[in-house]
Amino acid sequence: MAVIASVSKDTTPAPSIEKLVELVSDGMDKVNELILSKAGSNVELIPEIARHLISSGGKRLRPMLTLACADMFGYRGAGHVMLAASVEFMHTATLLHDDVVDESDMRRGKLAARKLWGNQASVLVGDYLLGQAFKMMVDVGSLESLRILSEASAVIAEGEVMQLGAAKNITTTEDQYLKVIEAKTAALFAAAAEVGPVIAEQSDAMKAAARSYGMQLGLAFQLVDDALDYGGSSADLGKQIGDDFREGKITLPVVFAVGRGTDAERGFWKRCLEGDSLQDGDLDEAIRLMAKYDAITDTVQRARIYGENALSALDALPEGPHRDALADAVAFCISRVN
């Protein structure tokens, strides 16, 4: 008692997803088992690559959303575990294909699968995991969940193609950027959350609230990720700082810095992001310009707004530990940048 009392009540602990992790830990154990078993195949290369990705320690935020958004309604079946595993497979397939498209060398602090096994295997194993995801969804038998997740699958790919079109083009607008991240990132967060009340057979209002929470959280998450690329430390992010910069990816920090810069600075951005070769010191200069124009601060500010929207959406969902944990997840996502 004395020890506990000695901790000041005013100390605000760092935002964490511990509460969420704990609440869904039984379900996540089953999700992880299912993932390992469904990533199996007699074709050696498949489990090898799948294990590499699965053991690489992503936070598994998306499947946790599915479990929490079903558990909060007292759902007692096994469908949410299968849907959560499907969601994680969809995400993993996207990562495999993304790394090929972006020519990335690293993923979550490890060598990207394409560097270890080649682009070919990454494309095909991604396809396999996507096929397995759909098989699991079919096993659940909920056509509504299938509709939501297959829609997300098409939208994610559409977002990636959009991003490809915007790459190496510094005239990209904030609006275009938001459309890209809504499709490529937030759509899967939204679907992951929405299938919770769907499988728990809740009302349309509950489904809409969960979807909205996931969508807004996904937007905040991606904005923070994009800010971190110019400011986090490599160890935190699991990727090198400046990856987006080197790939000529136009993210919101860039949109702000380009829009607020002088002609000369725009020339710098054009050379770096639309050209083919970077020089020593370019990344440092980019980070300096970001600071000069509050590009990171304002990006994080946008993330906070989406975070607020996510919290508002939670208001419509049932009170309790799950809702509290989902609120913590919002704060956690945004705190990554601080």
In the complex, the residues that contact a second copy under the rule CB under 8 A are: 41, 43-46, 97, 100-101, 119-121, 123-125, 127-128, 130-132, 134-135, 137-138, 141, 143, 146-147, 150-158, 160-162, 164-165
> Is 94 or 212 the residue whose CB approaches a second copy more closely?
94
> Is 191 or 209 the residue whose CB approaches a second copy more closely?
191
> Is 165 or 267 the residue whose CB approaches a second copy more closely?
165
**Dist. CA 48–CA 58, nearest whole Å:** 17
> Is 123 or 283 the residue whose CB approaches a second copy more closely?
123
CB of 146 to a second copy, least distance (A): 5
CB of 37 to a second copy, least distance (A): 14
As a 3-state breakdown, the chain gives helix, strand, coil percent values, each rounded to 5, of 75, 0, 25
Secondary structure (3-state) at 8? coil
What residue has token string 């728990």?
200
CB of 135 to a second copy, least distance (A): 5
**Dist. CA 174–CA 26, nearest whole Å:** 41
Other beta carbons within 10 Å of 85: 27
CB of 141 to a second copy, least distance (A): 6
Asked if residues 71 and 78 have their Cβ atoms less than 8 Å apart, the reply is: no
> Is 29 or 127 the residue whose CB approaches a second copy more closely?
127
Other beta carbons within 10 Å of 311: 17
**Dist. CA 57–CA 190, nearest whole Å:** 22
CB of 296 to a second copy, least distance (A): 28
CB of 41 to a second copy, least distance (A): 6
> Is 201 or 319 the residue whose CB approaches a second copy more closely?
201
CB of 92 to a second copy, least distance (A): 13
CA distances for 198 relative to 139, 147, 211, angstroms: 15, 11, 10
CA distances for 113 relative to 151, 157, 298, 322, 327, angstroms: 27, 20, 34, 35, 33
The closest of 217, 199, 218 to 312, measured between CA atoms, is 217
> Is 128 or 256 the residue whose CB approaches a second copy more closely?
128
